[in-house]
Amino acid sequence: MKILVTGAGGMLGGGVARKLAERGDDVTVLQRRPSSLAGVAGIQEINGDITDSSTLLRAVEGMDAVVHLAAKVNVIGPWAEYEAVNVDGVRHLVAAMQRAGASRLVHVSSPSVAHGGVALIGDGAGPADPEHARGNYARSKAAGELIALAADSSALAVVAVRPHLVWGPGDTQLVGRIVQRAREGRLPLIGSGAALIDTTYVDNAVDATVAALDRIDVAHGRALVVTNGEPRPVADLFARLCDAAGVPAPTRRIPFPVAWAAGAAVEGVWALGRRRDDPPLTRFLAEQLATAHWFDQSTTRATLGWTPAVSLEEGFGRLAQWYARP
């Protein structure tokens, strides 16, 4: 099968591309900058911007399926940038696929699209809700998911997968930041540290995304949250991640209201200074780290015929090995 993977420069996208190529699919990857995937057997690389319609049309031409991961994922920035990539980018991709006759789209989304800032406790995947989603990232991803799923039809099967907090060896987003902060002694626990948070080991997220493509006949039209199904108190998670990386676990605690207020202040400073890097703390992050986020995985697993192959415990072990590598 000829498959286009967008956003393959990231940990999850790269994993998906490799997995598909390994099993013999004809994979093309599209991302802004050349990547290490270019040399992998069975993978061809196109460099280009998702916001450019002509690039998209060229990339989609002749494809059977698209796995769409390209997104603006920063936690801060002006709305127009999110909209261009995460909303309009999806619209252009869908239009290009319809024109090119590509028949399958796996749209990689995020549980935050249905999240109004309250605790998620054993929930399933609610509908994407751009009005109530928190922050520019979640709002734009919510709008994008709605566009993707609205395109689901007999000619084009669309499924949305929402992996939650993907981590693994080489991860710069979640594990990298936590470990770096902990190493600098700047990683506090917010609130009691008891908020129960479900995460996804990267190999499991890869498998689930591939399974969504393989099972799109039954899964299309739906949004499916993907996690390890092993939630842990955030204090436990931090301690285990730090343990694996060989850095001291956090002991300092900040009450949630303080963290939230601090996040607001930091956002203000960043906005005033028009800074483009990610700030150390935002209200969104404070909420994420202080409220429960875990999910009922029964529908996802039954629909995809998938279960996580790597347990949390094994994941921590692999992470420790990676950090211990020479």
> What mask, x for binding another protein by CB under 8 A, covers residues 243 to 282?
x------------x--------------------------
Least CB distance to another protein at residue 251 (A): 11
Q: Which residues does residue 28 pair with via DSSP β-bridges, in sequence order?
A: 4, 44
Residue closer to another protein by CB (options 62, 122) is: 122
Q: Is 137 a catalytic residue?
A: yes
Minimum Å distance from CB 298 to another protein? 5
- DSSP bridge partners of 159: 106
Indicate if the alpha-carbon torsion angle 231, 236, 241, 243 is positive or negative.
negative
321 is a contact residue toward another protein (CB under 8 A): no
Question: Is 122 an interacting residue with respect to another protein (CB under 8 A)?
Answer: yes
Segment lying near another protein (by CB under 8 A), choices 53-61, 93-101, 159-167, 193-201? 193-201
Long-range contacts, 30-37 (Cβ 8 Å, 24+): 30/4, 30/5, 30/6, 30/55, 30/59, 30/70, 31/6, 31/7, 31/70, 33/9, 35/8, 35/9, 37/8
In the complex, the smallest distance separating the C-beta of residue 239 from another protein, rounded to whole angstroms, is 5
What CA dihedral angle connects 70, 74, 76 and 82, to 10 degrees?
Answer: 0
When asked if residue 322 is in the footprint of another protein (CB under 8 A), the reply is: no
Length of the chain counted residue by residue: 326
- String of contacts with another protein for each residue 1-40, x by CB under 8 A: ----------------------------------------
Give the span between the Cα atoms of 260 and 291, in whole angstroms. 12
Q: Which residues are catalytic?
A: 137
Interface residue list for another protein (CB under 8 A): 117-119, 121-122, 190-196, 230-236, 239-240, 243, 256, 287, 290-292, 294, 296-298
